[in-house]
């Protein structure tokens, strides 16, 4: 795996769940990590201190990543304290499962703003320094709901599907500049966002019928993030199964695959 020691990473939504696990995993392989959060300052600081205890630099940075001005402020704060962001993990998101009749226009707009628009804003904010250095790694968190529909609702599935298109386009446009863009699409993982704080809720049989890959191993998912930092551009890693098995499928047409193949990693 490529040596990432000393690189600067920003993980959004890193105060809990997948984001927290990924931030710690990246610190363990040598990255300095900015812990992005929106409201949970105390929890973000716990993650920050854990990263420092691992011997890496860290900071907690607050932002609503669906708001452009807050994204710009947060990225600037990280650049001032740690250095320009070189590895971006777009993890922040929301679920809000609802019956179809209750999915209003406001719910739809919120789902796309928090899950999809936020990733666009974050990428746009970190790109100038990555392009200047001709090196960058961007990992976008999608979901198997992008292809299977999932259990949350069409508002969530549409946002997560949009992330795959976003990833595809940026990967094609940036690969020759030394910047790779990839997506990870996990199945259902028992984190607080899914369980609403219940520490040990069982996965229901109904959920498993609709989403038979429910119960992804979080440690295996973190390994997928580490490996994705060194992948060529334009892949989606789909994690599924209780053993955390990972498959990778290209989202490039043949011409785009050839274009990416010329990028040295």
Number of domains the chain contains? 1
Whether 2 is covered by a domain: the verdict is no
Residues 6+ apart with CB under 8 A from 214: 187, 188, 203, 207, 208
**Domain annotation covers residue 200:** yes
What is the distance between the alpha carbons of residues 85 and 64, in angstroms, rounded to a whole number?
A: 18
| pLDDT value, residue 189 | 66
On whether residue 3 sits in a domain, the answer given is no
Options 18, 20, 95, 156, the catalytic residue: 156
Give a yes or no: residue 189 inside a domain.
yes
170 catalytically annotated = no
Question: Could you tell me the pTM of the whole model?
Answer: 0.78
Is the residue at 1 inside a domain?
A: no
pLDDT in tens, the chain (265 residues): 678 999 999 999 999 999 999 999 999 999 999 999 999 999 999 999 999 999 999 999 999 999 999 999 999 999 999 999 999 999 999 989 999 999 999 999 999 999 999 999 999 999 999 999 999 999 999 999 888 888 899 999 999 999 999 999 999 999 999 999 999 998 866 555 545 544 434 434 433 333 333 344 555 555 665 666 655 666 666 554 443 333 333 332 222 233 333 333 3
Asked whether residue 98 is assigned to any structural domain, the reply reads yes
For residues 44 and 1, give the distance between their C-alpha atoms in angstroms, rounded to a whole number.
28
- The CATH number linked to 76 is 3.40.50.720
Largest CA distance in the chain: 50
Domain assignment of residue 234, given as a range: 8-261
E strand or H helix at 184, and its extent? Answer: strand 179-186
Token representation of residue 203: 């996965």
Is 25 part of any domain?
A: yes
Instruction: Report CA-CA distances (Å) from 138 to 8, 9, 238.
Output: 12, 10, 16
Dist CA 245 CA 225 (whole Å): 13
> Is residue 16 in some structural domain?
yes
């Amino acid at each position: 795996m490529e040596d990432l020691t000393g690189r600067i990473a920003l993980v959004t939504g890193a105060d809990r769940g997948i984001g927290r696990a990924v931030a710690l995993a990246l610190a363990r392989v040598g990255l300095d990590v900015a812990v992005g959060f929106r409201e949970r300052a105390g929890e973000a600081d716990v993650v920050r201190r854990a990263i420092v205890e691992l011997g890496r630099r860290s900071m907690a940075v607050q932002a609503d990543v669906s708001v452009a001005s807050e994204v710009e402020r947060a990225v600037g704060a990280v650049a001032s304290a740690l250095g320009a962001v070189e590895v971006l993990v777009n993890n922040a998101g929301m679920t809000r499962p609802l019956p179809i009749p209750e999915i209003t226009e406001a719910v739809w707009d919120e789902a796309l703003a928090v899950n999809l628009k936020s990733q666009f804003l974050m990428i746009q904010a970190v790109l100038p320094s990555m392009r200047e250095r001709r090196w960058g790694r961007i990992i976008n968190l999608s979901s198997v709901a992008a292809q299977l529909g999932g259990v949350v609702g069409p508002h969530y599935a549409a946002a997560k599907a949009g992330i795959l298109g976003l990833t595809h386009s940026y990967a094609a446009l940036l690969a020759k500049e030394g910047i790779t863009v990839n997506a990870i699409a996990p199945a259902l993982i028992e984190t607080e966002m899914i369980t609403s704080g219940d520490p040990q809720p069982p996965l229901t049989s109904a959920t498993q019928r609709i989403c038979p890959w429910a119960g992804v191993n979080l440690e295996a998912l973190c390994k997928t993030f580490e490996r994705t930092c060194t992948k060529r551009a334009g892949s989606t890693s789909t994690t599924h199964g209780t053993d955390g098995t990972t498959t990778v499928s290209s989202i490039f047409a043949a011409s785009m695959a050839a274009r990416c193949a010329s990028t040295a990693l």
